[in-house]
Chain A
């Protein structure tokens, strides 16, 4: 519990002034234009859009500038802003098969129909700081464009029935976590919405843990594609579908080993990741975690953190996580006073007990021996909650 604290208005006003001054920096240096952020920090803009769960480059650039480059703060600003806008509806499902591909690679097949297209990637850079100012680059043009519908790599395996097929089925209306709370167990569509909004660092760590043995998914990057996808809506006023623009997406299809079971023959299974803008690390992490979270559906033994959907989905959101961690800065004066008072009482009792001669108690009460006095003392080796948790974890594991 914390109580309302009055006063401090002037100090808060001064703090906001200091924040504004610090954000702007040296006024002799021109202020960043949103267009500069959008054009030259596009990967940062993409991350803020993805985790802010709002595709709008202008707003994401504005949030980054206002947050002075603190990405989590920018994500928070975008999430807060979206609540002020009316919801017009739901788009038709994005058709990533018809993506106008600018990058497309596979870690499983060398010769894929349509070819491996590297596109703009840091993969082949030396990671050496370049102190030269960047000058405009003359980009090479191929004689012909890429095919308009680049086939999916996983369809090659599908032809041999060696990979699970994913079809819409009855195409149920998915749960929308912006309108309904997260409940467990969460189905795969709900989990994917949560992971889409999830913090890249958290998902990267979780994904890494699955590769290091905390889940048995044995992954291959079947296909990663990046490019532009049309957004199609069907407004009631029209009664027919129209394109309303295009967005950049990165999609990752992970292929994972599966030995069969539950009446299913041995075949590869899939993990799926989708990300706004160029977000390969996020899309790959999402795909690995998506696959790990399918352990129950595939009747796999489940013991690792990345397979525990309550653990993963409850802690993936950076806005919630940073809010709860940082709320500790708020006044907890009354809470702390109560704790302080309790601790002073206990310390006084402890001191009084040490000063009492051990022989005194048996004379006062014949039934109470030294053992009784000892039982008042705190256990010298208490079982810590984390130690208990570890025991439970080990028990589940074996």
Chain B
């Protein structure tokens, strides 16, 4: 297990970005935003250039762009950031707020329990279902032997 201090944060930031915005909003409903909230960088939509690799594994090439919404918020001593795919400002705001609150030692356990874990399970469930559906269309070949 990587003990890098950034690892846990990278994981929750990734999960918040990968989550369904409606599920994130529902999970965050129980957490009242602190009174001293400062939106350092209100939600802003821009572009990231997606990079691919030639042949999948070779040198990089510029593949095409993607909309991304970013947002930064200060809650107490902690600054929360978010970068999420798409143009959903509310998604970015909630993810930035959750990132700020998760950095707070007192609030972290309850957020992990009531926000992060349910979102992780939901994401896993969706991916597992999609993969099982695909796996159901796997071909079982019967070889027809010729000329033997």
Question: Contacts A176-B49, A189-B54 known; A118 to B137 CB distance under 8 Å?
Answer: yes
Produce 1/0 per residue, A94-108, CB < 8 A to B: 101100111100000
* A115-164 at interface with B (beta carbon < 8 Å): 115-119, 139-146, 152
* B113-146 at interface with A (beta carbon < 8 Å): 127-139, 141, 143
> A118-B137, A272-B54 given. 13 additional CB < 8 A pairs?
A54-B64, A56-B87, A91-B48, A93-B60, A94-B50, A96-B53, A110-B143, A189-B54, A196-B63, A235-B81, A239-B6, A242-B14, A244-B84
Q: In angstroms, how far is the closest chain B Cβ from the Cβ of A174? A: 5
Answer yes or no: A211 CB below 8 A from chain B CBs.
Answer: no
Interface centre among B53, B56, B84, B130 (most CB of A within 10 A): B56
Contact call B134/A140, Cβ cutoff below 8 A? no
Produce 1/0 per residue, A215-254, CB < 8 A to B: 0000000000001101101010111111111110001010
Contacts of B107 in A (CB 8 A): none
User: How far is B47's CA from A116's CA once the two chains are assembled, in angstroms?
Assistant: 35
Interface centre among A168, A174, A190 (most CB of B within 10 A): A174
Answer yes or no: B13 CB below 8 A from chain A CBs.
Answer: yes
User: How far is B70's CA from A245's CA once the two chains are assembled, in angstroms?
Assistant: 12
Contacts of B84 in A (CB 8 A): 244-245
Answer yes or no: A31 CB below 8 A from chain B CBs.
Answer: no
User: How far is B65's CA from A177's CA once the two chains are assembled, in angstroms?
Assistant: 12
Contact call B58/A100, Cβ cutoff below 8 A? no
Residue of A nearest to B130 (CB): A102
Residue of A nearest to B139 (CB): A116
Q: In angstroms, how far is the closest chain A Cβ from the Cβ of B100? A: 13
User: How far is B145's CA from A27's CA once the two chains are assembled, in angstroms?
Assistant: 62
Question: Contacts A59-B67, A168-B58, A168-B59 known; A231 to B50 CB distance under 8 Å?
Answer: yes
Contact call A237/B58, Cβ cutoff below 8 A? no
Contact call B10/A168, Cβ cutoff below 8 A? no
Contact call A142/B17, Cβ cutoff below 8 A? no
Residue of B nearest to A105 (CB): B139
Binds B, one of A80-88, A304-312, A331-339, A357-365: A80-88
Answer yes or no: A172 CB below 8 A from chain B CBs.
Answer: yes
Answer yes or no: B90 CB below 8 A from chain A CBs.
Answer: no
User: How far is B61's CA from A116's CA once the two chains are assembled, in angstroms?
Assistant: 28
Q: In angstroms, how far is the closest chain A Cβ from the Cβ of B45? A: 6
Contact call A189/B61, Cβ cutoff below 8 A? yes
User: How far is B44's CA from A90's CA once the two chains are assembled, in angstroms?
Assistant: 17
- Across the A-B interface, give the 4 residue pairs with the lowest CB-CB distance, nearest first: A245-B85, A145-B131, A142-B135, A166-B55
Contact call B132/A145, Cβ cutoff below 8 A? yes
User: How far is B14's CA from A265's CA once the two chains are assembled, in angstroms?
Assistant: 45
Question: Contacts A56-B86, A85-B46, A174-B62 known; A146 to B131 CB distance under 8 Å?
Answer: yes
Indicate which residue in B48, B72, B81, B127 contacts A231 across the interface (CB closer than 8 Å).
B48
Contact call B48/A89, Cβ cutoff below 8 A? yes
Answer yes or no: A276 CB below 8 A from chain B CBs.
Answer: yes
Answer yes or no: A169 CB below 8 A from chain B CBs.
Answer: yes
Contacts of A87 in B (CB 8 A): 46-49, 65
